[in-house]
Amino acid sequence: MKVAPDIIFPNLGIEISNINPVAFSIFGLEVYWYGLIIGFGILAGLFIAMNLAKRNGIDENLYPDFLIYALIVSVAFARIYYVIFSWDSYKDNLLKIFAFREGGLAIYGAIIGAVITLIIFSKCRNVDFWNFADTAAPGLILGQSIGRWGNFVNMEAFGGYTENPLAMMLKKTDAKYIPVQLMDKIKTVGGIEYIQVHPTFLYESLWNLAVLIILLVYFKKRKFKGEIFALYLLGYGLGRVWIEGLRTDQLLIGSSTVPVSQLLAGILIIVSLIFIWYKRKKQENYIN
């Protein structure tokens, strides 16, 4: 008897079965694919950053040290960011704030935590903040690109209904949540109910990969230290403004309908553009 697929890409003819968020267990403790994928993304990003550092006169051995501190601070900030904008889910049971295994991390919180860590780290280790940030940015965007596949395994972070070529169908019983707007869009395949959605994890993963390529190609042509990091903020922000608007699990500002990550992405786009313009203008004036 054929097992009903867990995920279907109907317009691509792809069916995927037997998806289990748990990779394996050790002494009764379940190890999730999400964590393993995030871990692989971090290691891949570290490899890229260390190679760029070697080519740009920075001691590559600083990066593992920085990563240890950044991971601790970034996870904390990612959780704080998520909890602040999901306060209704935690205000009546504050202990849930520490239930990390239940999920609830926000990438922008992690980025804020990493930047704060780098500011302190660069001062303590006497390294150039902007040069370090430039070499770290491609590794960061690669880690984000890989990490989004953790959302795929968890069947979460998807968008609303779509019929586009990349449309993804998830088993109704397996999806992390069912947005109200999808309840009248349920599709039945082989007697099994599915929701059909934008695979926003895939959009962001591919977008981040494109940003990575641009950063690596442009790196040797950078006009000033900090430009690659600014381009990272600009490129990621442009993608996030678009993709966040498609998602159905947005963190909203208070009782408004404004997604906080979409607003923050918009602000970072403007700030990064002003920063690039200011630094290039300053260089032109210096040359003249």
Q: What is the DSSP letter of 195?
A: E
Decide if 276 is inside a domain.
Answer: no
Decide if 1 is inside a domain.
Answer: no
CA distance 219 to 256: 40
Cα separations in angstroms, 202 against 14, 149, 160, 170, 239: 14, 8, 14, 14, 12
Decide if 79 is inside a domain.
Answer: yes
Decide if 259 is inside a domain.
Answer: no
Beta-strand ranges (E) seen in 97-215 are: 168-171, 187-189, 192-197
Q: For the beta carbon of residue 158, count every other beta carbon within 10 angstroms.
A: 27
- What is the chain's pLDDT, residue by residue, as a tens digit (288 residues)? 567 899 999 999 999 999 999 999 988 889 999 999 999 999 999 999 999 999 988 999 999 999 999 999 999 999 999 999 988 888 888 888 887 767 788 999 999 999 999 999 999 999 999 999 999 999 999 999 999 999 999 999 999 999 999 999 999 998 888 888 898 899 999 899 999 999 999 999 999 999 999 999 999 999 999 999 999 999 999 999 999 999 998 888 888 889 999 999 999 999 999 999 999 988 776 655
Strand partners, 188: 193
Question: pTM for this structure?
Answer: 0.92
Nearest to 230 by CA among 133, 144, 140: 133
Q: What is the DSSP letter of 17?
A: -
Q: How confident is the model at residue 288, as a pLDDT?
A: 55
Decide if 34 is inside a domain.
Answer: yes
Decide if 252 is inside a domain.
Answer: no
Decide if 229 is inside a domain.
Answer: no
Beta-strand ranges (E) seen in 200-254 are: none
Decide if 275 is inside a domain.
Answer: no
Structural domain boundaries, residue 135 = 7-223
Cα separations in angstroms, 285 against 28, 130, 148, 221, 280: 64, 21, 42, 19, 9
179's tokens: 């947005």
Backbone angles phi, psi at 44, to 5 degrees: -65, -40
Q: What is the DSSP letter of 233?
A: H
How many domains would you assign to the chain? 1
CA distance 130 to 272: 13
CA distance 134 to 251: 29
Q: How confident is the model at residue 263, as a pLDDT?
A: 95
Residue 242 exposed, middle or buried by CB count within 10 Å (0-12, 13-18, 19+) = middle
CA distance 157 to 172: 15
